[in-house]
Amino acid sequence: MTNQEIAKILKNISIILEIKGDSKFRVIAFERAADVISNLTKDIEDIYTQGGIKALEEVPGVGQGIAERIEELLKTGKMKDYQKLTSEFPEKMLVLTDVPGIGAKTAFAFFKKLKIDSIAKLEKAAKSGAVSKLSHFKEKSVKNLLRGIEQYKARAKEQERMLLTTADQLAGQALSYLKRNKLVKRADAVGSLRRMKETIGDIDLIISTPKPQEVVNYFAKAPFIKNILSKGNTKISITHNKNIRIDVEILPELDYGSLLQHFTGSKEHNVHLRTWAEKRGLSISEYGIKDLKKKKLHHFSNEKDLYKFLGMQYIEPELREDRGEIEAALENKLPKIIGYNDLLGDLHCHTNKSDGSNTIFELAAKALKMKYKYLGISDHTAGLGVASGLTEKNLLKHKAEIQKINKKFRGIKLLAGAEINILANGKLDISRDIIKKLDYGIGSVHSAFNQDEETMTKRVLNAIKSGIKIFGHPSGRLLGQRQGYDLEWTEIFKACAKYNVALEINSFPERLDLKDTLIKDAQDYGCKFAIDSDAHSLENFDLIKYGIATARRGWATKKDIINTWDLDKLLKWFKS
């Protein structure tokens, strides 16, 4: 039984206990255990086989009672308590609580009074007005309900895909296994991973070798394989033991450029390219480009030559989404997008004075190792009362501390910033005077996410005019968990350009926010960007790669990204 399956059952128990009005303490205990187990890196089954029930009890959040139930589940595949609970409150109806805005009690009312036990039935009842039979369901709540259902559906679709970081790690593991074999001449990740798309459906790899069959057999023996889906002479598809599909294609080196181009996609980019070429008597495939008139097949061992042959600029993989890149490449008008080594600093990170895990000194040492010229420290402010943030007084103390530690470092300059809450009414939670004493402020929305578009837009516009220099994770989306809030983006872009506020491109895997398409749009208004890690620990600094990838997918160039600028220029802009 997987951790996820066990966590799901514990979570369901907590929901049913809540419906039944059981003690809050018990509800939370099951919820917490579910949460811990679903995030555990070790398999519960392994923990149990190795250390028995005592080892289970050592898992944080798992007490004796829950450990006994997990043991029962692992031994018998069943849990009596759970069977009893679900006979009264069917497992099926619990899906309703996954809709944002529906709690355990409401879900049960839907089930009991309207016999609703699926999202489809819920949607039907909301649209037909049947839900208003529940006394507290008036017009506004029906509208919210429909919105919640839309969010649920979007999230379900996204959850079938993995985060870019996950795919990147697993592909890295598979590639390093392949490269240990001398028969493997070249091996690359292709598909959406090479294009660095924010979420990935499956992983695609290509290999060139003189001995395809031997390499297929070698790959089939990889230790990370759960099962083999299909196996041929030049291709193999497997399921990774993390339940992820990997497709592998193998070709001789002669055609590697064509293969790379073909399997990198996107499908839309390739279709456009093929149609364009057909009109010119050329047929493009993974085996090369055929000149139909002269009946000659051109081979490409190198992708750059392929685009050159077609008479266009080389198109970086991140741009291949059919968003105008082919037209631009033909006119020699593709922008030179930011490179992976162009950043001179990072402007968003947290110390242990708010919710980070490291000291100022540790962060600075890491930034120096990354060859940064400056590092902006931006801890949370205290205005929301949640998460440990800094009060105005403590923020000034923190600034003094940053300046003190700055003196201990050569080659890197520490900047004193803050991540300031944009309150529900659009005010910032620290005063303008304090912001002026800092090098810069990031303004972020961390509360009241459900405001309507007009209110949210006004709120953010107000903050943009209040002295912040970076608008942090602008849409607030969390991939697979939460859609971004509603903003009138053209208004936001105009204001950011006018008040010299950079839009953040946050590198956290579930954020990648601002997203690629909006980055592209924002440039039409003259907006600037800051690519930040938002590091809460030292390893988080390395996530910056994904933020840069997102900027590249948004066609952003070096000059538009404020943390590619040298310190003088940056500080001058902060004062503007």
Q: Are 48 and 70 in contact (CB under 8 A)?
A: yes
Determine which residue in the list 257, 265, 389, 547 makes contact with ligand DGT, applying CB under 6 A.
Answer: 265
Regarding 165 and contact with ligand DGT (CB under 6 A), the answer is: no
Instruction: Note whether 270 binds ligand DGT by CB under 6 A.
Output: yes
The single residue among 202, 305, 488, 491 that binds ligand DGT, judged by CB under 6 A, is: 202
Q: Does 204 bind Ca ion (CB under 5 A)?
A: yes
Identify which of 24, 10, 17, 23 has the alpha carbon closest to the alpha carbon of residue 63. Answer: 10
How far apart CA 383 and CA 429 sit, in angstroms, is: 5
Give the footprint of Zn ion on residues 407-436 (CB under 5 A): 419
Answer whether 227's CB lies under 8 Å from 243's CB.
Answer: no
Interface size with Ca ion, residues (CB under 5 A): 5
Instruction: Decide: 337 and 379 in contact? Cβ < 8 Å.
Output: no
Q: Of these, 30, 152, 263, 471, which contacts ligand DGT (CB under 6 A)?
A: 263
Nearest distance from residue 552's CB to ligand DGT, in Å?
16
Q: How far is the CB of 261 from Ca ion (least distance, A)?
A: 15
Separation between Cα atoms, residue 32 and residue 256, nearest integer Å: 50
Residue number with the smallest Cβ distance to ligand DGT: 265
Q: Omega into 94 within 30° of 0, i.e. cis?
A: no
- In angstroms, give the least distance from the CB of 500 to ligand DGT: 37
Backbone angles phi, psi at 571, to 5 degrees: -65, -40
Q: Does 202 bind Ca ion (CB under 5 A)?
A: yes
Min CB(340)–Ca ion separation in Å: 22
Place of tokens 């303004």: 443
Neighbours of 221 (CB within 10 A): 8
Neighbouring residues of 287: CB distance < 8 A, sequence distance ≥ 6: 255, 258, 297
Give CA–CA dist 305/314, Å, rounded.
8
Q: What is the DSSP letter of 381?
A: B
Smaller CB separation from ligand DGT, 247 or 439: 247
Q: What counts of helices (H) and strands (E) characterise the chain?
A: 23, 17
Tokens 């009060």, residue?
A: 391
Asked if 267 is part of the footprint of ligand DGT (rule: CB under 6 A), the reply reads yes
> Of 80-88, 354-362, 479-487, 528-536, which part binds Zn ion (CB under 5 A)?
528-536
Helix (H, G, I), strand (E, B) or coil at 164: helix
Q: How far is the CB of 494 from Ca ion (least distance, A)?
A: 37
Token pair 């006119």 in the structure block, residue: 331
534 interacts with, out of ligand DGT, Zn ion, Ca ion, none, CB within 5 to 8 A per kind: Zn ion
Question: Does residue 192 bind ligand DGT (CB under 6 A)?
Answer: yes
Q: Which stretch binds ligand DGT (CB under 6 A): 251-259, 265-273, 454-462, 519-527?
A: 265-273
Buried residues in 51-60 as b, exposed as e (16+ CB within 10 A): eeeebbbebe
> Binding to Ca ion by residue 247, rule CB under 5 A?
yes
Under rule CB under 5 A, residue 317 binds Ca ion: no
SS3 per-residue string spanning 278-290: HCCCEEEECCEEE
Place of tokens 């090479």: 194
CB atoms within 10 A of CB 80: 10
419 binds, among Ca ion, ligand DGT, Zn ion, none (CB under 5 to 8 A by kind): Zn ion
Site for ligand DGT contains 261 (CB under 6 A): no
Judged by CB, which is closer to Zn ion: 249, or 419?
Answer: 419
Interface with Zn ion (CB under 5 A), residue total 2
Interacting residue with Zn ion among 256, 534, 552, 555 (CB under 5 A): 534
For the chain, the C-alpha Rg in angstroms (whole number) is 27
**Site of interaction with Zn ion (CB under 5 A):** 419, 534
**Which residues here bind ligand DGT, judged by CB under 6 A?**
191-192, 200-202, 204, 262-263, 265-267, 270
List contacts with Ca ion (CB under 5 A): 191-192, 202, 204, 247
